[in-house]
Amino acid sequence: MKTLNDFDFNNKKAIIRVDFNVPLDDNFNVTDATRIDAAKSTIDKILNDGGSVVLMSHLGRPKGKELKYSLQHIVSAIEKSLNKPIKFISDCIGSDVENVVATLQKGEILLLENLRFYTEEEKGDVDFAEKLSKLGDIYVNDAFGTAHRAHASTTIIAQFFPNKKCFGALLAKEIESINKVLSNSEKPVTAILGGSKVSSKITVIENILDKVNHLIIGGGMTFTFVKALGGKIGNSICEDDKIDLAIDILKQAKEKGVQIHLPIDVVGADSFSNDANTKVFDVNNIPDGWQGLDAGPKSLAIFDKILNTSKTILWNGPLGVFEMESFAVGTIALGESIANATKNGAFSLVGGGDSVAAVKQFGLEEKMSYVSTGGGAMLEMLEGRTLPGIAAILND
């Protein structure tokens, strides 16, 4: 696996695919610069070697060239993160761009305009990728969030850099962290899968059953399993068409010696509202008119015990509707248990939009071993798929 450390960037121009698809407010201010900050170590390494940098990214889902999706809006946020001036050009291919790149000096950074202003980007167009390839001596992919897309800038471009392509620091760390869970884990390994639907996590569950000792299932998908086992779930969310699948997963787990842990109690509510009346119920005996919206105190005590005897932990999905304060207790407690296990030497990987949002919201991000930046990409890796953006760097 070629990384930045396999290259000396002195007098070289690195064209880097970054993931600067960041949220903006109505005044085009960046409201969360995490993805920009995450690229800093890659850019710093290249500049410190004596190289220059050409940054390319997408932003949003523009239909043609729409000013609101221009990357010019994020220039000041990048400058603030890197503590360096940024040059910006209002295109990403063509002779004007090539001329500006040709004049780049050591230590300089150029940001290209939104790649998705061209439909060829998402189509994986070879000619478009070739035009992009003219803008650098070495290709660096540091965009894990788009590594599962076979787009021109994430995958197709790599073919124009035989022996001159590598993973950036962020993408290398993502791959290393996921492999640490899936392939090189220290046992016991515990995975926590939450969220509302079993259907969205089926392939993840099937792929990780051979790799984990404990599987904690939380969130809305709890109730599909509880109903499959004959429990009364009241008005709780349930995928009735996945009950047979839930039974099959429980059977597979038993055959493989994996212990599946469902909540044994839940915080029930009489409506889907932060102001609802709440009551703790046995998970198998939720009355009609009530729905489970968070894991209960007995469940959290059991999960805490499991996590604090684990050496490797994967967390993907919350235990409850944490966006509502009344039902955030389980997710916060789970995060604190993982943080405590991490402090005591466990390796913890957090991934998936909701889990990442939760650790940030509750101030737990720094207490985890690694927090992934790519929701869909991480999910596909956990499913056992080879991502096209990763394969493109590995294939020479």
Asked whether residue 195 is marked as a ligand-binding residue, the answer is no
Asked whether residue 289 is marked as a ligand-binding residue, the answer is no
At residue 155, the pLDDT reads 97
Percent of the chain residues topping a pLDDT of 90 = 87
Which tens digits make up the pLDDT trace of 1-26? 899 999 999 999 999 999 999 999 99
Percent of the chain residues topping a pLDDT of 70 = 100
- pTM for the structure as a whole: 0.88
Which tens digits make up the pLDDT trace of 40-67? 999 999 999 999 999 999 999 999 999 9
Write the CB contacts of 82 (distance below 8 Å, at least 6 apart in sequence): 40, 43, 44, 109
At residue 353, the pLDDT reads 67
- pLDDT at position 108 over 80: yes
Which tens digits make up the pLDDT trace of 324-333? 999 999 999 9
Asked whether residue 385 is marked as a ligand-binding residue, the answer is no
**List of domains in the chain:** 4-173 (3.40.50.1260), 185-382 (3.40.50.1260)
Q: Considering only CA atoms, which of 64, 85, 87, 76 is closest in space to residue 29?
A: 76
Average pLDDT of the chain to the nearest whole number: 95
Helices (H), the chain: 34-38, 40-49, 75-82, 95-102, 119-123, 126-133, 169-182, 202-208, 222-228, 243-256, 297-307, 329-343, 353-361, 375-382, 388-394
Which tens digits make up the pLDDT trace of 367-392? 999 998 777 788 888 888 889 999 99
Over residues 247-257, the mean pLDDT reads 96
The strand pair at 312-316 and 278-282 is best described as unpaired
Q: Which amino acid, one-letter code, is at 6?
A: D
Which tens digits make up the pLDDT trace of 176-187? 999 999 888 899
Over residues 202-214, the mean pLDDT reads 91
The mean-pLDDT minimum among 191-195, 200-204, 270-274 falls in 200-204
Active site residues: 35, 197, 353, 376
Residue that wins the pLDDT comparison between 79 and 202: 79
- pLDDT at position 262 over 70: yes
Asked whether residue 17 is marked as a ligand-binding residue, the answer is no
